[in-house]
Structure 1
Amino acid sequence: MNYHYPIDPDWSTEEVMDVIHFFHIVEQAYENEVARDDVLDAYHAFKRVIPAKNEEKSLFKDFEKQSGYVPYQVVKRAKESDEGSLVSLS
């Protein structure tokens, strides 16, 4: 990993942890696989920190630019998957 997570210095420690956890789950979906529920749980925690869609898109774009991983695709795949299934984009 040779990139930085898009983090706002005004976020609380808990909010930073929620955002980092979500992006880590996205990484796992690309590098291995991750449980659908883990993706959705992490995304819901992320949305509590970033409720605005335009800010979400901006952070997703920043993360994609730095990592090459597309958070939108991971969340989309998780939402379309059956309960209990694994999400993998590798």
Structure 2
Amino acid sequence: MMIENDLLQNLEKIHTTEMGIDRIKRNLSLDCDDVVEWCENQIKLAGMQDEKISRKGKNWYVDIGCGIITVNAYSYTIITAHKK
């Protein structure tokens, strides 16, 4: 079952900065060309599981198993991602 929330309904708005791309790649040890697309896919997968996406204050926190993706709730900017 897909849990609906503002983050999932606005996936097309998700973006990040060049510094954000570097930070996400470094923090999650990613080797992919499109970090934003990778994050979008992880967010979609998390949306299919209860309690994987939560909002605290101005940010969404997405548990992707190996880490947490942090997305600003107003601008839909991927701020960072960290390994658990």
Q: TM-score, normalised by structure 2?
A: 0.31
Question: Which has the larger strand fraction?
Answer: 2
Q: Which has the higher contact order (CA 8 A, sep 6+)?
A: 1
Q: Computing the radius of gyration over CA atoms, which structure comes out larger, 1 or 2?
A: 1
Question: Which has the larger helix fraction?
Answer: 1
